[in-house]
Amino acid sequence: MLDAPCGAVVGPAAVADAGFESDIAATRELEPVLEKIATHAMNIMRVSDIAIYLREGESDIFRAPVALGKYVTEIKESPVYLGRGISGNILKSGK
Q: What is the pLDDT of residues 2-14, one digit of tens each?
A: 444 444 445 555 5
The pLDDT assigned to 81 comes to 98
What DSSP string describes 15-66? H--HHHHHHHHT--SHHHHHHHHHHHHHHHHT-S-EEEEEE-TTSSEEEEEE
d(CA 42, CA 93) in angstroms, rounded, equals 24
Round to the nearest angstrom and report the end-to-end CA distance of the chain.
Answer: 16
d(CA 78, CA 2) in angstroms, rounded, equals 26
Is the pTM higher than 0.85? The answer reads no
The pLDDT assigned to 2 comes to 46
Percent of the chain residues topping a pLDDT of 70:
73
Q: What is the pLDDT of residues 57-86, one digit of tens each?
A: 999 999 999 999 999 999 999 999 999 999
